[in-house]
């Protein structure tokens, strides 16, 4: 089981990032989320969602899903591609196992149902 993101449905609202961080910090912040909205290319209007799982980094880009096994994508010869975010030191998605009332918080909060469980 894991989180699935439809990047084309996503409206770049950042609610999932907030909710995920909330589930770790019990306050409102964007510090510890393992789901992160990629929005560094603002003028290009390019955005997508990344999720760090235990072993994988899933990058839901508008053009399709990319799954990287953590560690393997690291190639010092590769030119930096800022649209992949390793987030190695953040905790991986635990499917909000402690949030009994809601299940995965990112799914509960996404206003446009761009996030589902697969």
Residues near ligand SF4 (CB under 6 A): 3, 5, 10-16, 19-20, 23, 34-35, 37, 49, 51, 93-96, 104-106, 109-110, 112, 114-115
Burial of 53 (0-12, 13-18, 19+ CB in 10 A): middle
Total Cβ atoms within 10 A of residue 87? 17
Partner from another protein, ligand SF4, none contacting 73, C-beta within 5 to 8 A by type: another protein
Longest dimension (CA), the chain: 46
Residue 47 carries which DSSP code?
A: E
The yes or no reply on residue 95 touching another protein (CB under 8 A) is no
Q: State in angstroms the smallest separation of the CB of 76 from ligand SF4.
A: 29
Q: Which residue has the tokens 């996404």?
A: 110
User: Which stretches of the chain bind another protein, using CB under 8 A?
Assistant: 8, 11-15, 18-19, 22, 25-31, 38-47, 54-55, 61-63, 69-76, 78-90, 101-102, 108-109, 111-112
């Amino acid at each position: 089981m894991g989180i699935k993101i439809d990047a084309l449905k996503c409206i770049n609202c950042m609610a999932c990032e907030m909710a995920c961080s909330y589930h770790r910090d019990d306050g409102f912040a964007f510090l510890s989320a393992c789901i992160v909205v990629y929005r560094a290319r603002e003028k290009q209007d390019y955005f997508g969602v990344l999720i760090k799982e235990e072993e994988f980094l899933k990058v839901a880009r508008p053009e399709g899903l990319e799954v990287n096994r953590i560690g393997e994508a690291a190639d010092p010869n590769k030119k930096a591609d800022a649209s992949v975010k390793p987030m190695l030191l953040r905790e991986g998605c635990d499917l909000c196992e402690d949030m009994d009332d809601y299940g995965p918080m990112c799914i509960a909060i996404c206003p446009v149902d761009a996030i589902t469980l697969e």
